[in-house]
Structure 1
Amino acid sequence: MKKKLTILIIFTMLAPCLANAKSVLTRINKISGNDSVELFCTFSAIPSYRSNIRGKRVDFILDDTTIKPDFSFFEADDKIVKILSLNKNNKTILSFFFRFPPQRFDVIPDREANKLTISVLLGNPYSSALPEFSAKLEGLTIIERTTKDFSNPLVASRYAADWKSFFKLYEAKIELTLPVQFTQLPFPAITYLLPDREKNKEILDKEIYELAEQNLWNDILPLLLEQINKAVDPEIKKKLALTYGDVLARDNNFSDAYKQLYLLADEYSEEEIGVFAKYLLILLRARFEDPFIADFELRNLQDSMTPANPLTPYFLISQIETALATEQYSRMHDLLGRDDIAYPEETATIRELRQADYWYGTGDLIKAYVGYQLIEKHDVLLDKIFSLNGYCDTLYQQKQFPEASRCYNLLAGHINDKEKLGMINYRKYLAELQYKTPVEMIDYFAGIEHTYPGTEAGFKGAIKKTDLRYLTLKGWSETAISYYNALAEKSVSRATREEASFKEALLYRLSGQNIKSAELIMTFLRDFRKGELFNSGQALLIELFPLVIQEYVEKKMYMEALVLAKQNRKLFIRNWVSIDLLSKLADSYNALGIYNEASKLYLYLITLSSEDQKEQYYLPLISAAYDHGAYNFVEDYADQYNFRYPKGEYRTKILILRIKSLLAEERYQDAISILPDVIPETETFSLLAATLYFHENKYEKVIEILERPLEISDENFSASNFILAESLYQLKKYDQAKERFEEVSKDSIHHDQSRYRLGELSKIKGDRKGSLKIYEELVETGNNSLWIKMAKKELELADFFQ
């Protein structure tokens, strides 16, 4: 964390000291790296110096030196946490306090530039804890890890290496929830009623059993009513009444079954038959009302179920099933683990099935797959649609695709609900897609779209149909984009809107339309923050980001580049994009004239980059400072560059900028002092050198430079001619000067002065009439008020002396 400390500067300088000191410290600039700091100290003359390192404190002692009165230090940070200065006995002591004891403190003098460069290798927790060992290794620092950052969605994405594979490989999660079918007692239920049990079968007529085998429950009801009316024994009447309520429930007649069973449970609450009726009533409510209510009521009834009661295994199965239906998996686990109940053969199979359901519900798909496999051939699996759906899903997850297709086909035969039937058939075709060709599956998914219009399955079928057409048909990208766009707008579910929206953005990327893709994916990330594809969307944006920034910069759309960067600043904060991209943003700031921000970014890049990468950022940094008019920074940054890279690739261009900044500050002598000994025969160097010598009235040097065989551009031709002409004029080489003045073009800012000089040259040669004509033309056609005024004076003088 960067510390912000107030820098305490103690000045004890007196005016006499400043006058007597041999050297004055005028400026200190700092540049920081990851593990180093460099201080660039500028003096009026280099003093003698020494340093004293005392742990975290370094005293830099400068003899015969004082500090410039308006001097200010750089701001403290988390590397150099405090700075003090003391001037005493014509000696200046600079005390630097570091966070960790520095490992090296080197001073490099540059006597020609009157500068001292202090190079500090910073300490760290390692060097602080093991100073002796660190010293032996000559400044070992903590090494930055270069392993892959798997928190970066682009690195972690399975699709980023081949985005087109997304259309083939991606499958959205399918939420296909089917109800739990509660296990009913075998018919007739009264065979589990104590004390008579199996003898109770004799109460019912043979015809009732024949109808029950055919599930003709409605036909049984009148037969039972007839038996109830004929029965004399009240106990038999109760059993027949209980059977009547049970048959009503099996016939899905909730209202009448509820009334019948409720009356029995209420009337005979203290008898075994009342408990039995209560249990059947709870099962009825589990099926037709709320399984949470059934779960609660089963808990209240469980004290009536002893291990010896033949109804108890079914009661426990009912508790397991209500726990499954209400997703109380912890309770379901405990119920399945009970070993104090003996399960008859038919209930043991159901218990095994519900164990597999438990594994499926808790996401343990391999155990669920094995569990379902063990009971695959039992009819009970085919009768329980929740379990059958779980088995189909585990087959699919285990890549048993032909078996999964057959399983879903069986499941579809049990379903009447349009929405669910559509999803089952969609999943069936997904399984078949794994072992059939995409071309032959297109029509199947189109069939889903048209058979189940307006449903989630219909939209999923349309998306998959579009995927397969895009993958198999050449030149179909634009059509696919329009389909995905329409599906994203019209889809009834959030999941299908998310998938279609992402695929639309991705297709723009694959089509090379990166700006459009970035716009869509940013909207996608705002709209689907909690979506399944959010990470994939981030990965696509991270890939697009540098490409779009580059495209904006190439198209000179600098503001758009900066806006995009600001909108996605978290990518920089999380280090998910290369810092090299910041140079493009700095270029954008520079192009828009926001030079302060451009400079900050270039300095930031220099600070963060490795040593071999820093050099490339100095030229744009210095250019930005020059364009901003910060000429003192041009000099400082140029000094830093020359110190780091004495034979650097950009030294000539940086030297030109430094000379230009000195020229702009009218520091002509300083600029001349850093000119090369031999002026290169280039337009830029020649014009700069000639301009400097011209301002210093060294006209011979101007002529020497500009009369060389140079290639001068049209843009600078007039300026070059004027400087040369004026220099020749000042040296009284009038004929040559005249030729050059005449070559200055009319659109040049020097044209009026050149015309005035031509008038003077005519007057010098005795051509009074010719000079007056030139002055008159200048007054009539000139643009520069100064030279027009001068010409008018000449004309007035001529009139006066006539």
Structure 2
Amino acid sequence: MEKLNFLRIPLIFFCAWLLVATSAAAQPAGPLVLGMAKQETPGAVRISLEVSARVAPQVAVSGQRVDLTLGDTALGANVQNLPEDAGLVRVMFINRRGDLVVSFLFRRPPTRAEAAYDRARNQVVLDVFWNEEGDGRRPAIMSHLGGALVVQPDGASSMRQRQSVYAGDWRRFFAEYETLLRFELQPTFSLPALPPLQPLAENAAGEITRVLNAALDLGHGGDWRGALEMLREVPAASLQGAAREQFTLLSSEALARSGAANEARGRLQSFVETFPGADLEPRARYLCAYAQATTGDPYGALFHLSQARAILAEGHPLLSQVSLLEAEIVLGMGRDTQVLALLEEVALAGGADDLRQLARAGALSGMGRHAEAVRLFGELEERYGQLRNAFAVERLARALYGLGRFAEAAEAYARLAVLCAGTSEEGPAYFAQAQAAWRAGDNRAARILLDRVLVAFPDSRGGPRATLKLIDLAVLNGEDKALVWAIMDYARMAEEAGERPLREEAAFKQALALHLSHDNVGSIALLERFIRNYFSGRLRPQAEALLGDLLPLVIDELIDRQEHLQALVLVERHREILLDQRINWEFLERLASAFRDMELLGRAARVYLFMLDNNREPGREESLYLPLLGLLLQREQYELVGEYARRYARDYPRGRDRVEVLLVKARALQASGRDEEAAALLTAPDRPAGRALDLLGGRICFKLGRYADAVVCLQRFAEDLAIAPTPEELLLLAESLYRAELLPEALELFESLRTRAEVADQAAYRSAQIYLHQGRRALALKVLRELVDEGSSDLWRKLGQEKIAVLAL
């Protein structure tokens, strides 16, 4: 037992040491990031990271990402991440071999970034810059939006983004927009005549030699089925060497050319594996690639073609066939540009060259070079009659449709439907024919075809498209009642359509139909959801453009109904879209006014600043300065008041608001403690006349002890009979006269004010003082006694009593 106790003591110490060591290891030895903050300035953003100790930062810019690396640093436990906003997408923290990488993803690629350690604040400061030269946008309101600002001739602003060709006539969208229809078809993979194989020597395989050479002659003569029948009688197991190679390759080619591609594929793959490096390997790989392409393995086919190309010497006759087959395979994969490059390597003679032209025509159609494609297809049909390959016919129809030759396109799609009979592409082909017929103006034929698709092929890819098209036609031909039904039908299609692009189209058309039925609020709600659900969709720009059209209308209505909070929510939620659109000047004025009414002075000021900086219709912006200056003064942004007041004076020296603008500037100077500058401004000989300027100038000069200047200002103020001065304003003038030692004028004014109850006591006391100064002691005492007996102000009565007592000594 004692021995056990003896062992237990070291064990306890060991566990305690282990706990301490583990605890110590859990605490990082290096600096910690304790917090982050972000500040935006025009063309830049500053991000400050509070750290626990000195750290050497490194920064790297890669596209939209800025990576800040802090060596031997860890992330603190309670660090709040920066929120996503109009400039910043997200911030990620990455622990990389003991270093902390803080990765910032911005919405626009920065031009440069700088990072430094600020010892005074114990912070790492990251400055990220964008090139804003020539950009009139203010980050305060634009929030680093993409696109370039355009100032319209009428002074409205817009961005080169989120514009729609349907703006102003959104009903056209139902007639013109088409979700892309792609057919799942493959081109015909050609297998033109290959360079002839050499016959076997007479005794290469005994008696079988004659049979092999005879089969070879049949194949070269075009009778591959006959050759195949003959080769089936040959005992393959007895062949060796060159005879076995030729037999395997010849029988495989006969199978491939007789339609047995799967069997040919297996034999050719076996040939490549069994006879590596054989002289016939390039030919075997080419034939294997053909068999793989026709059996649905394009990537395996491309591999064998690349191997064959690597073996063949430059100028070998088989290279053209290899390039042609590769071009046909990548054509079926949709790589139209690559097809044209490959076909440049093809040099075939006679009718074989038409295979190259057929592939070229298909690629041109896929690239949108429709006129060239139609010309090539036409030349081929003149020589061989109508195209019989579904892929080629679809490309011809697509080219005709793209050229606006809709009647011919409808005929081509009708041929395509016949060629696709019994396959999954028959329904889409009839729908494409209906679409082309409708575009050609044959509405009756289009409706018959659409009905046929819905009845015969409802589950094909043409079925939902036909349904959507019939709803579109009802909207285009009907009235408001048709819109009501269409809204419900589009909603159903947006939920039930099998293809995402069709659901996207239906969802947008539902929102558009709501707008056309005068439910703009409902349309905005659907568009908001649409943009969330189809953020990367093809129709997102159209949705944002429509939203940009509707938002000013709805926000105006909300402002008219005094529902300012709801208006603010819409503005804040869709600020980028609003600013990306062609913005109506009157709407911006109403928006700024609404913000001001809600006492959201900062937002109101930003709207005015945006209008000033981005509207250039001469004279139109003059009316913005005064409300802007008033807001800046309320927000105590006195430097900006001075800046924009100077700008107004420069641009509008005779402007109708020049007096009020100067008044706000003087008040800003006064509020910032710069009374001398305010006084100089208000007493300048060339300043405009204005009672408010005179009154403020008089008050500031009086405060500064510049009584003569105060008298000048206040006399000019009092002489303006448009509005009678108040007793307090006249008292200020009288006091200024008194302190400027203009006593007769002061006495006259004080005596007149003794009848005004608001200032009578002070006026009486000052009158008595002037009387004493003039040596009229008895009159002074009389006035003082009246003040003491009848006055209402304790202060002035007490001063009167003290003055009487002094005079009695």
- Normalised by the size of structure 2, how large is the TM-score? 0.54
DSSP 3-state at the match of 1:193: coil
DSSP 3-state at the match of 1:376: helix
Query: Which one-letter code corresponds to 1:552 in the other structure?
Result: L
**Take 1:623 and 1:149, find their aligned partners in 2: how far apart are those partners?**
24
Q: How does 1:293-442 map to 2 (within 5 A)?
A: 293-302=300-309, 314-326=321-333, 332-338=339-345, 341-345=347-351, 347-379=352-384, 382-415=387-420, 419-438=424-443, 441-442=446-447
**Take 1:634 and 1:360, find their aligned partners in 2: how far apart are those partners?**
62
Paired position in structure 1 for 2:543: 537
Paired position in structure 1 for 2:493: 487
**Take 1:357 and 1:635, find their aligned partners in 2: how far apart are those partners?**
68
Paired position in structure 2 for 1:194: 198
Paired position in structure 1 for 2:557: 551
Query: Which one-letter code corresponds to 1:350 in the other structure?
Result: L
Say which of 152, 156, 160 aligns to 1:152.
Answer: 160
Residues 520, 550 of structure 2: 8 Å contact kept: yes
Say which of 610, 615, 619 aligns to 1:612.
Answer: 619
**Take 1:171 and 1:549, find their aligned partners in 2: how far apart are those partners?**
32
Q: Does 1:256 align with 2:263?
A: yes
Paired position in structure 2 for 1:782: none
Q: Does 1:286 align with 2:290?
A: no
**Take 1:230 and 1:422, find their aligned partners in 2: how far apart are those partners?**
48
Paired position in structure 2 for 1:520: 526
Q: Does 1:182 align with 2:189?
A: yes
**Take 1:335 and 1:3, find their aligned partners in 2: how far apart are those partners?**
47
Shift of 1:563: 2.0
Paired position in structure 2 for 1:577: 583
Shift of 1:377: 3.5
Shift of 1:694: 13
Shift of 1:581: 3.2
Q: Deviations over 1:403-441 (max 9, x none)?
A: 211212222233367553333222211111122344653
Q: How does 1:701-716 map to 2 (within 5 A)?
A: none
Shift of 1:512: 2.4
Say which of 510, 520, 542 aligns to 2:516.
Answer: 510
Residues 622, 648 of structure 2: 8 Å contact kept: yes
Shift of 1:545: 2.7
Residues 370, 400 of structure 2: 8 Å contact kept: no
CA shift in 2, pair 1:582/1:229, >3 Å? same
**Take 2:396 and 2:215, find their aligned partners in 1: how far apart are those partners?**
38
Shift of 1:521: 2.6
CA shift in 2, pair 1:675/1:607, >3 Å? farther
Paired position in structure 2 for 1:36: none
Instruction: State which drifts further: 454-463 or 543-552.
Output: 454-463
DSSP 3-state at the match of 2:498: coil
- The CA RMSD measured in Å over matched residues stands at 5.7
Residue identity over aligned pairs, in percent, reads 21
Q: Does 1:169 align with 2:176?
A: yes
CA shift in 2, pair 1:634/1:373, >3 Å? closer
Residues 369, 395 of structure 1: 8 Å contact kept: yes
Shift of 1:357: 2.8
Shift of 1:589: 2.1
Q: Deviations over 1:15-46 (max 9, x none)?
A: xxxxxxxxxxxxxxxxxxxxxxxxxxxxxxxx
Shift of 1:479: 1.4
Paired position in structure 1 for 2:100: none
Paired position in structure 2 for 1:566: 572
Residues 449, 460 of structure 1: 8 Å contact kept: no
Residues 593, 604 of structure 2: 8 Å contact kept: yes
**Take 2:636 and 2:308, find their aligned partners in 1: how far apart are those partners?**
90
DSSP 3-state at the match of 2:479: coil
**Take 1:411 and 1:290, find their aligned partners in 2: how far apart are those partners?**
24
Shift of 1:294: 1.6
Paired position in structure 2 for 1:463: 468
What are the ranges of 5 or more consecutive residues in structure 2 without an aligned counterpart? 1-40, 45-133, 135-149, 201-211, 664-689, 704-710, 733-755, 761-809
Query: Which one-letter code corresponds to 1:480 in the other structure?
Result: A
CA shift in 2, pair 1:671/1:493, >3 Å? farther
Instruction: State which drifts further: 565-574 or 239-248.
Output: 239-248
DSSP 3-state at the match of 1:163: coil
**Take 2:369 and 2:722, find their aligned partners in 1: how far apart are those partners?**
81
**Take 1:590 and 1:661, find their aligned partners in 2: how far apart are those partners?**
25
**Take 1:149 and 1:591, find their aligned partners in 2: how far apart are those partners?**
25
Shift of 1:223: 5.3
Shift of 1:507: 2.1
Shift of 1:466: 0.9
CA shift in 2, pair 1:304/1:381, >3 Å? farther
**Take 1:679 and 1:257, find their aligned partners in 2: how far apart are those partners?**
109
**Take 2:641 and 2:341, find their aligned partners in 1: how far apart are those partners?**
77
Shift of 1:375: 0.5
Paired position in structure 2 for 1:775: none
Q: Deviations over 1:158-182 (max 9, x none)?
A: 2223221121122233333422321
CA shift in 2, pair 1:201/1:408, >3 Å? farther
Residues 508, 527 of structure 2: 8 Å contact kept: yes
**Take 2:332 and 2:43, find their aligned partners in 1: how far apart are those partners?**
58
Q: Deviations over 1:499-529 (max 9, x none)?
A: 2222222222222222222333333334334
CA shift in 2, pair 1:423/1:651, >3 Å? farther
What are the ranges of 5 or more consecutive residues in structure 1 without an aligned counterpart? 5-123, 125-142, 681-685, 697-726, 732-802
Say which of 495, 500, 509 aligns to 2:506.
Answer: 500
Q: Deviations over 1:328-375 (max 9, x none)?
A: 667644543347x55243x12212212223433444332222221210
Q: Deviations over 1:622-680 (max 9, x none)?
A: 8879999999x99999999999798959999x999999999xx9x9x999996895568
**Take 1:455 and 1:426, find their aligned partners in 2: how far apart are those partners?**
10
Paired position in structure 2 for 1:110: none
Shift of 1:468: 0.6
Query: Which one-letter code corresponds to 2:327 in the other structure?
Result: I
**Take 2:256 and 2:340, find their aligned partners in 1: how far apart are those partners?**
29
DSSP 3-state at the match of 2:518: coil
Instruction: State which drifts further: 506-515 or 458-467.
Output: 506-515
CA shift in 2, pair 1:201/1:536, >3 Å? same
DSSP 3-state at the match of 2:419: coil
Residues 158, 581 of structure 2: 8 Å contact kept: no
DSSP 3-state at the match of 1:613: coil
**Take 2:502 and 2:516, find their aligned partners in 1: how far apart are those partners?**
21
Residues 395, 403 of structure 1: 8 Å contact kept: yes
